[in-house]
Structures are given as C-alpha cells and as structure tokens.
Amino acid sequence: MIDPMIKSAWVALGGDRALLGRLVCVERPGALIARLPVQRLARACVGTCALAAAELGALRAGLDSVPRAVVDDGAVVTAFHSERLLRIDGRAPVNFAPLSRWWRAAYGWVRTHANYPHHRRRLLGALGLPDDAGPEDVERVLLERSALEVEEAVYAAGGLAVALRTPGQWAAHPQAVEVARRPLVERVAIGAPSGRQLPPLERGSGPLLPAAGLRVLDLTRVIAGPVATRTLALLGADVLRVDAPELPELADQHADTGFGKRSATLELAADSGALKELLASADVVVTGYRPGALDRYGLSPEALAERYPGLIVAQLSAWGAYGPWGERRGFDSLVQVATGIAATEGSTMEPGALPVQALDHGTGYLLAAGLLRSLTERSLDGRGRLVRLALARTAHWLTTEAGRDPRPGGPEYEGPEAWLAERDSPLGRLRYARPPVSFTGGPADWATPPVPYGSSPATWS
C-alpha cells in the first residue's frame, strides 16, 4: 500500500496515479525519531523524485514501461544527513557558526542565522554591537529585548532572526494563511510553445540517464536548491553552478552539494553578455535567492519565458514569493522556528528541532521531481514551466497534512555505513552519502566529484 504522503506529493507534481504502482518502498522504522512524521516526508520526497526520473527516462528511451523506482529508508535517511556525514580528508564539516543558535530573550526565544559573514555583520549591527562581538555580548543584549522585537530589528537590517512560535501562533500569522492557500508544488505553463525538446536516449550498456543532454543553470545556495541540482547532475544533466564572486559559498556546503556539477563565478551586472549566452542554450534555470532579488538581471520568470520559449524556470524560497514575508530571507532552521516545528519538537524548558534539516532536503528532492515532470510535460506541448516551492509550504505539509506516523514494521536502520562511499577529489579524499534516488537501470553514483569553488569557466561543456 502506497503511503498517502507519497500519493499527495505525486498528485501535487501532476503525476499519473497509475505509475505509483512502479514505486517500491523499503521502510526502516525508527531511523528518524521525531514527534512529526519526518521520515515519511523524507521517503515521499525522494520516492516521487525517483519515480519522476524513471518516467522521463522511459519516455526518452522509448521503453514499453516505466522502470521500477525504489526508495530505501536507509539511503534516504543517510542522504538527509549528508552535510553532517561528509568528511574531507577525515575532517568533519562545520555546519553552524557560533552566532547561529538559540537565544533566550527577555520574552520568548529567538533563533539567529549568521553562517555567512555579511549576515553576521548585519545581525551585530542590528543589535548595536561591533563586528568583533562574541556570543556573550549577543546574549546580554537579547536578554533586554523581546523575541519579536529582535526579529523585526534584525530583519530591518537585512539579517536573520526569527522568534519562536507555537503551531497556533503561526497558523494565525498572515504569512501562514497565504502559505496554506498554495499547493505544495506550484506548477504553471509559461511562455509560447517552442520546438525545444531533449533528444531520444540511446539504449546501451551504460546507466539510463533521464537528464542526459540537459543544461541546468544553478543559481542557488545552501542546501535545498543545490540538492535539487545535484540530483539532476546525478541523472546526467550538465549543471553549471554560478555564484557572485563577492559572496562565496561556504566551503563545506559547496563540497557536499557539488557532486556532478561545475562551479563558476559571474558578476551578473558586469557580465550580462556571458549570462545571456548561458541562458540562450539553457533548458532549466533554478533560482534560490530571496524572491525578486534576481529580477533586475532579467531573471524573473516572466522575462525568461518571453525571451527563451520552452525554458523551465524554478524558484525556491523560504517563505514563499507572496504574503507579508514574501521578500524575507530564511533557512530551514528558521522556518522550523516560525512554523511551530521547533515548539512541537521541544519541551517546556527549551525549543527543539527535527533530527535532520528535512525542509531543506525534502524540498530539494521535490523541486528536482517538479523539474523532471516539467520536462516530461514539455515533451507533449512544447511549453516551458514555472515550478515554485517554499520551505514554509513543505513545513505546512508536514505539520498539518501528513497525519500520524504509523511506524510500520520492517528492517531496522543500523546506521549510515551501508549508504556511504569514498572517493578522491580535487578537494581531497571524500566520504559522502550516496544518492538516494534509485530506479532500475539508473545511475548508482555521480559521474564526477565536486570541484573547487569558482574553478570552472562560465560556459556550457
């Protein structure tokens, strides 16, 4: 029996319900312990992505039936820990900076995010502290202010801080009302029909690569967007990640999500000609910046659809591209705080958190699935697609629509070792989580390891 969460995700993606019979689930109960059904969410996101990949592969290869997709909780749970399990020459990654943490306020709790240097400066500036201030200085200031006051002051300064809310408090918030009105995956055809299509796949001795020949311009950061494009790279796409040279990605996050990709830097305003050349032959553009932040470079969905018919555009955001928080920055840890997840997973003494950054990883796999399904749909009508997802909408799915976790029987999860791999790379010897997206005849690992940040030319291979 297919889990209702898998059904709801597949329906949100516009998939044929009859294909759900091609998905096999290996459930390993108790691998992600939480009050909310986070393990079911993880399984649903990866399972629908695997099914969407198998569907597109069958279409392009002219197969009589869609290959069987397999989602194994062991692989899924390990992949959802990927940024924690990564080792570079034996070194564990650094995932949170000292000022990215919980704080007691004069009234309530507040969580800050200051992993990037510019976010750290803005946080300290909003609190009236110098750039060299430490945790003890922040703690002293926050104990004099309410959590909501801190949230607004830091946001006004361009930083990141969110006050803890209960599920009921979030449900009454205007942003939550807007989020609840939207589908889990927003999908709409955009632009005029075009002749843009991916060529048929030759059936040979190698793995079936549904995204072979696909050109993906990756304008995302942190986890969710890069997970989506990392998945497309696994499936054969030429993924070029482009970052602004003045805002480098954190090295460990770049390594974790860089498998199969190339990495370039580009000043979008100064190098507009190079950007236009990339867009002219791209099949997919994925953006993960604050909604509207890239519009001035001609990267709004409307502008892209008009100039490049058949292009598939994806937009990923924390809070959704709508409502009073539509232009706010955010990360998984902060969305958990606002939406009541941290209150649900915590205690009367202190807030809690999900056992993994499931909003990031889950939304990433849903986004990859939405792009794969858009390619399948484009093969029928030639039109581009706009695919939108938000971490807050994924949180709504988890907290209000998923129901209880039935905790079915099955093999136990005995740790990540069976789903880890090692390989050499330009960054050093890597230990990493193997990809969880699996279907009969598909790839078992990425073709290439991550490359050094900014080491690739800003051109297609």
Q: Please state, in angstroms and rounded to a whole number, the distance separating the CA atoms of residues 244 and 344.
A: 38
Residue pair 310/384 in contact (Cβ under 8 Å)? The answer is: yes
> What is d(CA 449, CA 401) in angstroms, rounded to the nearest whole number?
37
Residue 146 per-residue DSSP state = B
By CB atoms closer than 10 A (0-12, 13-18, 19+), residue 150 is buried
Side-chain-side CA neighbours of 174 within 13 Å: the count stands at: 5
Taking the C-alpha atoms of residue 240 and residue 103, their distance in angstroms, rounded to an integer, is: 38
Long-range contacts of 165-171 (CB under 8 A, 24+ apart): 165/337, 165/338, 165/339, 165/340, 165/343, 166/340, 166/343, 167/339, 167/340, 167/343, 167/344, 167/399, 168/340, 169/340, 170/338, 170/339, 170/340, 171/340
At residue 349, φ and ψ (nearest 5 deg) are -90, -35
Virtual torsion, Cα 218, 220, 222, 223, nearest 10 deg: -70
Catalytic residue, chosen from 360, 381, 405, 424, is 360
Active site residue 132: no
CA distance 461 to 307: 23
In eight-state DSSP terms, residue 107 is B
Which run of H or E residues covers position 376?
helix 358-381
Residue 51 and residue 7: Cα distance in Å, rounded? 12
**Angle (deg, nearest 10), helices 38-61 and 4-12:** 50
DSSP string, 114-145: --SHHHHHHHHHHTT--TT--HHHHHHHHTTS
- Answer whether 232's CB lies under 8 Å from 369's CB: no
* Three-class SS of 183-244: CCCEEEEECCCCCCCCCCCCCCCCCCCCCCCCEEEEECCCCHHHHHHHHHHHCCCEEEEEEC
Asked whether the beta carbons of 47 and 71 are under 8 A apart, the reply is yes
Q: Which residues are catalytic?
A: 360
